[in-house]
Amino acid sequence: MTRKILHLDLDAFFCAVEEHHDPSLKGKPFAVGGKAEQRGVVASCSYAARMYGVRSAMPMGRALQLCPDLIVVSSRHGNYSEVSKKVMALIEISPLIEIISIDEAFIEVTGLPNPLIEIAQDLQKRVNMELELPISIGGASNKLVAKIANDWGKSQKKGPNPPNAITIIPPGEETAFLAPLPVRSLWGVGPKTAEKLEEIGVTTIGALADAPAATLKMLFGRFGPDLRQRARGIDNRPIETEHEVKSVSNEVTFSKDLTDEVQLLQVFRSLSEQVGRRLRKASLAGTTVQVKLRWSDFTTLTRQTTLPSPTNLDHEIYETAQALFQSNWPKGRPVRLIGVGMSGLGPPIRQLSLWEDNYQKEAELLSAVDELCERFGRDIIQRARRIDRHQSKDPNEN
């Protein structure tokens, strides 16, 4: 039986939610994100704004240069999650749903008797009418082609309005559909891979499908034959209804570049505590600590190190992050962004030695602190040095 897969993508989701909240925004160039003076970035932008060249992840200052009349709307993340849940509940016509993000999902509907186009039209109508949100849908015999079909269908509709497109690729036509598309459209082909392919004259997916297997293996190793299979529209990946958490991270972009080491380390400690709290809440621990640094010229580097035992303790995460930072930061160089992350996740199981008998006590203490913070807010318990810093201020200071 031929599989029937749909890829659903809410068009400019954050903007659509904001338009629903404030109908006066419809048809206008606006962006959801942070303020330009606080170095905010564009989280999402309306299709009217895209006509000026504004794009997601663009610095808001640059977006305002491209579109001086751009309306900047602060994000309301809680509401987005609520609306997303309503959408996912509405499209639950099959138990095989793979949620990719807050505004994107795959659904396998192989067991339904209706043609794929009818199923897609019915789902789109539901979301349009019941939630007043635009949604584009791609359909095919596998996830790869369904996703590319949706991206292609959306790109064909120009103008200030959301595409609200439906693009279905019938079984047997996958290779022909993919053939003329740029090789960069193929899932798994990033800029570096595309450059290597273009060096041997491969610029379309069809050319990649016809490329000699030996050449691709020489260039990309075991990944080469897999690329060739994808270029031919072959993808046997199942719908994944559950996702394993692979990493936990937190980062912050400063409104003004920081050069003071004490301030930077304070932020590193706060980020380490946030990561530790999230790990403990998920009953996880990690073995690899990663730090992310971005300089004022947007140059970004990441550094990581693997620990001998898994941990979710704040101080162990912080001490490792601190060491990575200090060994990779040229003192005094302005820092725009820092981040702390943990990977290599699994159950918080640790083989204790004679010298680590305080580990369990600290883990239990932090769990108790987490519970208090959850009930009464994060400021209910503060580190002694933070209290000392506040108390050392002039009593007459505001």
In the residue annotation, 104 being an active-site residue is answered as yes
What is the DSSP code (8-state) at residue 36? G
Q: How many Å apart are CA 31 and CA 69, to the nearest integer? A: 11
Strands 166-168 and 135-140, bridge-based pairing = parallel
Q: How many helices (H) and strands (E) does the chain have?
A: 15, 12
Q: Exposure string (b/e) for 53-90, b if CB count within 10 Å is 16 or more?
A: ebebebbbeebbeebeebbbbebeeeebeebbeebeee
Closest CA to 7 of 105, 92, 153: 105
Distance between CA 311 and CA 308 in Å, rounded? 9
> How many other C-beta atoms lie within 10 A of the C-beta of residue 202?
23
Residue 39 CB neighbour total at 10 angstroms = 17
Spatial CA neighbour of 101 closest among 87, 120, 116, 117: 87
Question: How far is residue 212's CA from residue 18's CA, in Å, rounded to a whole number?
Answer: 49
Sheet of strand 42-45, all strands in order from the earlier edge strand to the far edge = 42-45, 30-33, 71-73
**Pick the catalytic residue: 82, 92, 98, 104?**
104
- Residue 297's CB is within 10 A of a number of other CB atoms, namely 8
**Token pair 């160039």: residue:** 29
Measure the CA–CA gap between 149 and 137, rounded to whole angstroms: 8
The answer to whether 334 and 295 have CB atoms below 8 angstroms apart is yes
Query: Mapping DSSP to helix (H, G, I), strand (E, B) and coil, where does residue 115 land?
Result: coil
**Catalytic center residues:** 104
